[in-house]
Structures are given as structure tokens and as C-alpha cells.
Chain A
Amino acid sequence: MRAISVVAATAALGLVAACGSEAPGPQAQNDDGRGPITFVSTKFDAEATQILVADWNAAHPEEKVTSVLLPESADEGRRKLIQNAQTKSDGMDVVVLDAVWTAEFAANRWVDELPEAGLDIPAFLPPAVETGKYRGKLYAMPFLTGTGLLYYRKDLVEKPPTTWAEMKAACEKALAKEKGMGCYAGQYDKYEGLTVNFAEAVQSAGGSLLDGSGKPSLTDGKAKEALTFLVDGFADGLIPKEAITYKEEEGRNAFERGKFLFYRNWAYMYEQSNKTDGPSQVAGKFDVAPLPGLDGPGSGTLGGNNMAVSSYSKHKQTARDFIAYMTGAEQEKKFAMSNSSPLARTALYEDPELIEKYPYLPALKDGILAAKPRPQAVKYGDVTAAVQESVYGAITGTRTVDEALTGLQGTLGDLIK
């Protein structure tokens, strides 16, 4: 009897599982559906987003938007979105995708292509729009954007460096008097930030991770200059050795305590480190500039959050309308007034009211226009893991620069076909 009940239960499960795999495909005929939707975003912008959502809900009582928050860590958030897509759940309608996830979500048909009509694309920063495209078609509408900025101590440095050599010279000059202070730091722990920092170094040396035809180009000498810059930085002590454990916040804390002259970070830090009632000892003593490069100004990588419509949504028309609404000029201004995360609309960077509130906007705009997206790869998770593996090995000294780059060239070649 016991045996029978177990068999029966297992058999029933088999049936259920079989039914599951025959669930309706993404191309269900809900393309014009209207009705209540769920908007999946992250917590950091929740407050500002909520203001916009409340306005929308007041105007659209039949198509109310419910906000859902993703886990803090980008990896966790992505895992949730993928799980939701794999189970073909209609529990998420509008999803916020990190700039580097576009290819994976588009290629797997987890999100729908977005018709450009009604989206006012020309009003957005072109590099930001690029991050929302896969094979030339728009899948995700840029909402937030951003790139790395060079924070520098204006009390110790006369003018921001535009090249790595100038940066070193500035350090030598200033640090002669400042005992115990380091020169430069970024984010070098083994996580997405390392890919960002490496890609930025390569671009700032004039190269790129992938060439124009999408093939890895790590053996053309530029990548070697870049990686050598980082490896030597650690070896010579220009980059403090604890920077190997830095994510954004650990580095910010160290910068705020005057541990180094230059720090690469996103725009969010400007406001925080300028707070005089906090732990920051550098409030009012720093400014921002675009990243320096090998022979001239460098190039950052683009971060950003874009909005897409889930393929499994039942109310796709409402979802598209909502994206158009959220990225509208009026809404973005409203958002910017209550949250410092940089937005993707060009006009906001010239708005005097906003520039007064966020003085770094002009430098950021230059940075974004010079910035490039990280590789657009369907298997981006594997690509970034491979990059981190090689670069981390090189900066911790377990492999040479050449070994790291040749190895990475081979691995990426297999991953991007």
C-alpha cells in the first residue's frame, strides 16, 4: 500500500510536469492586451519611481501598476527574472533590465521587441539607446544610464589628469607631502565591477574587448597596455593593495577617509561624499572629471537600467504605454528632482535647475558620450565570468598579463560565436 501510494504520487507528478512543458508559448495573442500590470524594478529608485507610478495609477484606474522590487545584488535580480521567464509566468509585465542583459533576454525571447513609434528615441543619449538593442533592434528602453567618473581631490590636484601618465605625475607630486596616501583605485574584487574596470582600461587605452565584427580583440596590444597598467599599479603601490577587495562602497569609504587621490566610481557617490554631517572627510574637497586614458581622455563603460516588456505579459499594450510614460520628458525631470541616479534623456544634462542640484552633470555627459557598452553577448554571464577569471588572476599575480589575455581571447572566442 505504501509502495502504491508512492508510485501514484510520482506518476501524478510526471503528468503535471509533462503538462508544464506544453504551456503556451511566448507568442500568445495578448499583444494588444490592456489591464493591470506589474512593474519590476530595484529598490534604490523605488521612492522616485513610486511618485511616477502613483500619478499613472491616478490617471489609469483600469490599468493600475503594481511595483515589485528585485533583490539588491544584480546576480540575484537576474536569476529571478530568468526564473520567471523560464516558468513562463505572467507575474511580471514591465521588467527593468541591466544594460548588459539585453542580448540574453532578447535572444531567449524572454522580452518583446519594442516598436520605436511613440518612444521619442532621438531625445536620448545615443550610447544609452545602444545598450537596449540586440542585433540592431530595440528590446529595452533606456531609463537610467551612467558611466565611470574620475573623482579627484581638488585640494591636492590642480587640474584633473587626462592621461594615465598625467595621473601618475600628479600623484608623485602630491603624495610626496601626503604620507600614507595612495594614488588611485577602482573596483577590483571578483565581481561585475572588475569587468567594468577592465573594459574601461582597455577602452581608455584605445582598444575594446570585442572588435567591430564582434570578435574578441584582446591580443592587439591595447588590452595588454590596459592590463599592464592595472597589474603594475598594484605592483608599484599606485593602487593600494586592499583595492583587490573593493566593490563600490568599500572604495568610497576609503576615499572619504582620504586614503587616495583618485577614485573611479559612478555618479551616485558625488552627493554622498559631499555630505558634511557624515563620515566623509573630503566633503567639498573633490570634484569629478571624465576618466583618463593612455594617450588622451579615456572611455568609460555604460551602466544603466532599461525597461522591457516581458514576453509572457498578458497586457502588453498597457506595458508599452507605461514604458513610454515613464521615459517621457516630464516624468524623467520629476524623477531627477527626487533621485540622483542619472537618466538617459539628453536634455536633462543641460537643464540649469538640475545642473545646480547635480554639478557633475556636464562631466558625466562627456563621459557617457565617450563611453561604450560592455560586450553584447547572449551568454553574458559566461563572458563576464571569463573576464573576471583572467583579470583577477593577473592582478593577484597567479598568471602573467600575456597568459591572462591569450587565455581570455580563446575563452571569449568560444563563447561568442
Chain B
Amino acid sequence: MKRVLTGLGVAAIVAYCLIPFYWMVVSSFRRTADIYHQTPLPSPWSLESYAGVFDEGTGFGQALLNSAVVAVVTTAVTLLIGTLAAYALARLDFRGKNVILALIIAVSMFPGALLVVPLLKLFTSIGWINSYQAMILPSMSFALPLTVWNLTTFFRQMPRELEHAAMIDGCSAFDAFRKVILPVAAPGVFTTAILAFIVTWNEFIIAVTMVNDVDRQTATVRIAQFTGAAKFATPFGTQMAAGVLVTIPLVILVLFFQRRIVAGLTAGAVK
């Protein structure tokens, strides 16, 4: 009886999570002519919408590449400086660290819409518009708090004896961090990297504001720009196909690293 109930529950959860996404995938495989059909499977199957996405001049491949560049670099830089900060907050002894941790987390309270215009003016005056760094640096405003919070928790969970042993062997505090803690912490750092990558990949407002050049636009921005053959035509199929394409890298990440992602998500929340 209990097993049946659990089974039903599992089925309900899977249906809840996958059905809307499934509908997007199915719609993306219909012909433009059939886009309003509501059969559970496309008939006939068609790659027309996907061809539309990669149509000459749209440069969607380039957009996916740009997304990757921005997300990878943001993740790397965030991890580099976030790991240092998290270690200091978790292990070093200094005054005011609770305040600093609270401040870093409080950063996630700022409304993004408020930050964009001043940053745009700043980046324009230093000639950064249309550059990768104009997207990377602001993206760190949400990737960094996440990283610092996650890693701080992670470092705290590690046994203190590790550094003590290293320091007795004559390592300085920083050497202890670099040579002993970091290698042990690699899994946690990796999980955090995936999380930071996903939030950066999904970013929209900053990317749409800072970049005019088509060759530098990210994929989430490009989706907003699909137009049909005429000014007022809206190619729903192409939008769906592009949506699927933008999501696929993340779905692959999720499928490969689901165990780690779940562990990482929960590390930040639960001690």
C-alpha cells in the first residue's frame, strides 16, 4: 500500500516537473504550419523551427558560445575570489566577520532593475559596452554571494584537525589553505561551480543592457529577438526551439551532475 502511494507520488512529481517542459519540446518539433496543433506528438516531426533558429544571419551558435564564455569566466573568477573569502569567513579569526558575511548575503536583496542603469553609465564611460567583461562583472553580483555562502558552509563542515596538522608541520595559515584544505574541498568547490554556472547562464537583464553588438549577445538575449518573415509575425515554433536549445546545456549538466547539484544545493541550507 505504502509502496503504491509512493509510486503514485513519484509519478505525480515527475509529471509536474516534466509536462510543461515536454510541451515546449513537442511544440518545437512541429512544422510552422502545424504550430497550433495539440496532438501529444508532432505529426509529422519537423526540424523547421530549429533550422529557423540557426538561420543565416541569426548567429545563434555564436550566441550560445557567448553565453558559454560569460558563464565560464564568471564562474571561474567568482570561484577564485569567492573561495578565498569563504575560507577567511569560515576559518580565520578576525573581528566583524559575521557582519561581513551578513553583508555579502544581503547583496542578494538588491533589486536587479535598480542596478542596471548606473552600471550602464559607468561601463559606457570606460568604454566597456559590447565587451564580455561588461556582462561578467555584474553577473558576479549574484554569483558571488551564492558562492561565498555555499563554500563558507562547506569549509566549516571540514574537520579542523586538517589545518592544525598542517600548521604543526610548519605551514602558514595560507599554505594550510592552499595545500591541504583546497584539495580536500574540491568536490564542494565543483558543486558550487555548477550552481554559479547555471545562474549566470540564465541571466538576462544585464546581458540585454550591456551589449548591442549581435556578435556578443548571449543566447537568452537572442531568444527575445526572433522575428518572422514580416514585422508583426511571431514565430512561436522558433521561440520554443530556441528555448529548448538554451536549456539543453543545462539539462545535460543536470543529468551528469544531479547527485552533486543536490548535495551542493542542500549544503548551503542545512548544516
Whether chains A and B associate is yes
B209 lies within 8 A of A340 (CB): no
Q: In the complex, how many angstroms separate the beta carbon of B99 from the nearest chain A beta carbon?
A: 12
A249 touches B225 (CB 8 A): no
Q: How far is the CA of A86 from the CA of B124 in the complex (A)?
A: 10
Check if B233 sits within 8 Å of A68, measured CB to CB: no
Instruction: Decide: B225 and A72 in contact? CB cutoff 8 A.
Output: yes
Closest to B124 in A: A87
Interfacial chain A residues near B120, Cβ < 8 Å: 83, 87
Stretch at the interface among A38-46, A199-207, A232-240: A38-46
Q: Is B176 an interface residue (CB 8 A)?
A: no
Q: Is residue B126 contacting chain A, with contact meaning CB distance below 8 A?
A: yes
B16 at the interface (CB under 8 A from A): no
Name B125's closest neighbour in chain A (CB-CB).
A20
Given A13-B122, A89-B129, residue A43 in contact with residue B225 (CB < 8 A): yes
Task: Give which listed residue, A23, A44, A84, A279, contacts B229 with CB less than 8 A.
Answer: A44
A29 interface residue, CB < 8 Å from B? Answer: no
Within 8 A of A (CB), among B118-133: 120-122, 124-126, 129-130
CB atoms of B233 and A91 under 8 A apart: no
Q: Please pick, from B122, B125, B212, B234, the residue contacting A84 in the complex, using a CB distance under 8 A.
A: B212
State how many angstroms separate the Cβ of B40 from the closest Cβ of chain A. 18
Is there contact, CB below 8 Å, between A278 and B224? no
Contact call A20/B124, Cβ cutoff below 8 A:
yes
> Does B45 belong to the interface (CB within 8 Å)?
no
For the complex, is B23 an interface residue (Cβ under 8 Å from A)? no
Shortest distance in angstroms between A306's beta carbon and chain B's nearest beta carbon?
Answer: 14
How many residues on A have C-beta within 8 angstroms of the other chain's C-beta atoms? 48
CB-CB nearest in chain B for A22: B125
A341→B231 contact, CB < 8 A: yes
Q: Convert B217-248 into 0s and 1s, putting 1 for each residue whose CB lies closer than 8 angstroms to a CB of A.
A: 00001001111111111101000000000000
A338-B200 Cα distance, complex, nearest whole Å? 40
Residues on A with beta carbons closer than 8 Å to the beta carbon of B57 = 46-47, 50
Q: Which of A69, A247, A253 has the most CB of B within 10 A?
A: A69
CB proximity of B34 to chain A, nearest CB, Å: 7
Q: How far is the CB of B80 from chain A (nearest CB, A)?
A: 17
B77 at interface (Cβ–Cβ under 8 A)?
no
* A241-260 near B? 1/0 per residue, CB < 8 Å: 00000011100010001000
Taking CB as reference atom, which chain B residue is nearest A266? B232
Contact of A69 among B35, B126, B209, B214 (CB under 8 A): B214
Contact B230 A272 (CB under 8 A): yes
Q: Are B228 and A17 in contact (CB under 8 A)?
A: no
Judging by beta carbons under 8 Å apart, are A20 and B122 in contact?
yes
Residue of A nearest to B221 (CB): A71
Complex-state Cα separation, A71 to B214, whole angstroms: 10
**B229 pairs with A80, CB closer than 8 A:** no
With both chains docked as a complex, state the minimum distance between the C-beta of B119 and any C-beta of chain A, in angstroms: 10
Q: Counting CB contacts under 8 A, is B141 at the interface?
A: no
Q: A20-B121, A69-B225, A72-B225 are in contact. Are A340 and B212 (CB under 8 A)?
A: no
- CB-CB nearest in chain B for A91: B212
Given the complex, which residues of B lie within 8 Å of A341, measured CB to CB? 230-231
Contacts of A278 in B (CB 8 A): 32-33
Judged by a CB distance under 8 angstroms, whether B36 is at the interface is yes
Taking a contact as CB atoms under 8 Å apart, the answer to whether B124 and A268 are in contact is no
Whether B161 is near chain A, meaning CB under 8 Å from some CB there, is no
A80 to B211: give the CA distance in the assembly, Å.
Answer: 9
Partner of A16, one of B125, B209, B214, B229: B125
- Would you call B129 and A87 a contact (CB within 8 A)? yes
Q: Which of A50, A80, A249, A253 contacts B212 (CB 8 A)?
A: A80
Chain A, range 63-83, C-beta contacts under 8 Å to B: 68-73, 76, 80, 83
Say if the beta carbon of B169 comes within 8 Å of chain A.
Answer: no
Q: Is B36 touching A72 in the complex (CB atoms < 8 A)?
A: no
Say yes or no for A92: interface residue by CB 8 A criterion: yes
Closest chain B residue to A83 by CB distance? B120
| B231 touching A266, Cβ below 8 Å | yes
Please give, as numbers and ranges, the residues of chain B lying within 8 Å of A43 by CB-CB distance: 58, 225-227
Report yes or no: B230 in contact with A44, Cβ–Cβ below 8 A.
Answer: yes
Residue of A whose beta carbon sits closest to that of B230: A268
Which of B34, B130, B226, B228 has most A Cβ within 10 Å? B228
Chain B residues contacting A20 (CB-CB under 8 Å) are 121-122, 124-125
> Which residue of B has the minimal Cβ distance to A265?
B232
A28 lies within 8 A of chain B by Cβ: no
B208: which of A76, A249, A340 is its contact (CB, 8 Å)?
Answer: A76
Question: A74: nearest residue on chain B (CB-CB)?
Answer: B231
A314 CB to nearest B CB, Å = 14
- Whether a CB of chain A sits under 8 angstroms from the CB of B213 is yes
In the assembled complex, A59 has its CB within 8 A of some CB on chain B: no
Which residues of chain B have C-beta atoms less than 8 A from A23's C-beta? 125
* Residues from chain B with Cβ under 8 Å of A84 in the complex: 212
> Is A277's CB within 8 Å of the partner chain B?
yes
CB contacts (< 8 Å) of B130 on chain A: these are 91
Q: CB-nearest residue of chain A relative to B239?
A: A72
Q: Is the CB of A72 within 8 A of B224?
A: yes
Provide the residues of chain B in CB contact with A70, threshold 8 Å.
225
| 28 pairs, A vs B, C-beta closer than 8 Å | A16-B122, A17-B122, A17-B125, A20-B125, A23-B125, A43-B225, A43-B226, A44-B230, A50-B57, A68-B214, A69-B214, A72-B226, A76-B208, A76-B224, A83-B120, A87-B129, A88-B124, A91-B129, A91-B130, A247-B234, A248-B232, A249-B234, A266-B232, A269-B230, A272-B229, A279-B36, A340-B230, A341-B230
Using A71-B208, A72-B234, A84-B212 as known contacts, list a sample of 19 further A-B pairs with CB atoms less than 8 Å apart, ordered by residue number in A.
A16-B125, A19-B125, A69-B214, A71-B224, A72-B225, A72-B226, A80-B212, A247-B232, A248-B232, A248-B234, A249-B234, A253-B36, A266-B230, A272-B229, A272-B230, A278-B32, A278-B33, A279-B33, A279-B36
Q: Which 5 A-B pairs have the closest CB atoms?
A: A20-B125, A268-B230, A87-B124, A248-B232, A278-B33
